[in-house]
Amino acid sequence: MTLHELPPDATQWSARRLAKAVGVGHGAVQKIWAAHGLKPHLIRRFKLSTDQRFAEKLRDVVGLYIDPPERALVLSVDEKSQMQALDRTQPGLPMKRGKAGTMTHDYKRHGTTTLFAALDILSGKVIGQCMLKHRAVEFVRFLRRIDKTTPPQLDLHLVLDNYAAHKAPAVKRWLAGHPRFHLHFTPTSASWANAVEGFFAQLTTRRLKRGAFHSVIELHRAVEDYLKQHNTDPKPFVWTKPVDSVLDRVDRAKYALESLH
């Protein structure tokens, strides 16, 4: 019943609901679920790429991570958009012995900003810049920042997603005048292949999630401080998953989905 039937009043079974339906104790249901590794209350989200050049693009990006070109830097570039300057409506209480810290569930919005970031794969350092919007104009401005802050004698290989601003005419015109820049695009719907996403996750967890910001300027300062701290003790990015293993897993997922239809 857990695998093949749905309850009449819900999208998944609970132990008590299923126990009532079959006339046993809910403890028995829990034991059976545990024995078969079933967890109806959990769901894993996914998105399979439909990019026709998935394998080609993935091999290109991973190749840069594993074997960077000589006399070149590999930079994983992306934007963390819609970062909100949120302030709590009431001050929270600090953590005490036996009691967790408190924070109101509601908040005041004071605007949003976008962090443009470029992660140096070999050193782990991040070039970052906050801007209020993330259009092609701002992206070109960030490319200029990268150009000024990296050794001019090195080629730059940028790993990017397929956001429209990265391929805009203004960007192409700027790149035409800066031949040391080489863009490599991840497959569509494959943000996990962009190394800088891990940095964004750490930024959210360590600095933004519990933060209270009275203005966008205060949020900018917090992000800049985090960048400085990160760059004092950076860790190189290491890709560990063989490309063939990733491709096999994607193929299995596609086969599983197709077998249902």
Domain assignment present for 138? yes
Mean pLDDT of 221-237: 95
In the predicted structure, residue 107 carries a pLDDT above the cut 80:
no
Q: Which domain holds residue 23?
A: 1-43
Confidence of residue 260 (pLDDT cuts 50, 70, 90): confident
Taking the model in full, what pTM does it have?
0.85
Chain centroid to CA 242? 20
User: Do 22 and 114 fall into the same domain?
Assistant: no
Q: Tokens 């009691």 correspond to what residue?
A: 99
User: Do 106 and 227 fall into the same domain?
Assistant: yes
Instruction: Determine contact, residues 62/41, Cβ cutoff 8 Å.
Output: no
pLDDT of residue 63: 94
Alpha-carbon Rg for the chain, nearest whole angstrom, is 24
Mean pLDDT of 144-157: 96
Burial class (CB in 10 A: 0-12, 13-18, 19+), 49: middle
Burial class (CB in 10 A: 0-12, 13-18, 19+), 95: exposed
Mean pLDDT of 105-130: 92
Give me the residues paired with residue 131 across strands: 114
User: Do 59 and 39 fall into the same domain?
Assistant: no
Q: Phi, psi at residue 23, to the nearest 5°?
A: 80, 40
> Crossing angle of helices 136-149/169-176, nearest 10°?
20
Convert the pLDDT of each residue in 7-49 to its tens digit. Answer: 988 999 999 999 999 999 999 999 999 999 999 999 888 788 8
User: Do 125 and 228 fall into the same domain?
Assistant: yes
Q: In percent, how much of the chain has pLDDT > 70? A: 100
User: Do 5 and 112 fall into the same domain?
Assistant: no
Instruction: Determine contact, residues 104/88, Cβ cutoff 8 Å.
Output: yes
pLDDT of residue 16: 94
Confidence of residue 148 (pLDDT cuts 50, 70, 90): very high
CATH number reported for the structural domain that contains residue 73 in this entry: 3.30.420.10
User: Do 16 and 78 fall into the same domain?
Assistant: no
Q: Tokens 């190749």 correspond to what residue?
A: 63
Mean pLDDT of 123-141: 94
> Which amino acid would we find at residue 56?
E
Mean of all residue pLDDT scores within the chain: 91
Confidence of residue 235 (pLDDT cuts 50, 70, 90): very high
245's tokens: 């293993």
User: Do 190 and 74 fall into the same domain?
Assistant: yes
Convert the pLDDT of each residue in 159-186 to its tens digit. Answer: 999 999 999 999 999 999 999 999 999 9
Chain centroid to CA 24? 44
In the predicted structure, residue 261 carries a pLDDT above the cut 70:
no
Domains identified in the chain, total number:
2
Convert the pLDDT of each residue in 186-224 to its tens digit. Answer: 999 888 899 999 999 999 999 988 888 889 999 999 999
Domain assignment present for 75? yes
Domain assignment present for 49? no
Integer angstrom CA distances of residue 260 from 6, 7, 41, 249, 257: 17, 21, 22, 17, 5
Give the strands of the sheet with 181-185, arranged side by side: 126-131, 107-120, 72-88, 155-160, 181-185
Q: Tokens 């990015």 correspond to what residue?
A: 237
Q: Could you please report the per-residue DSSP string of 190-216?
A: -GGG-THHHHHHHHIIIIITT---SSH
Mean pLDDT of 105-133: 92
Instruction: Determine contact, residues 183/160, Cβ cutoff 8 Å.
Output: yes
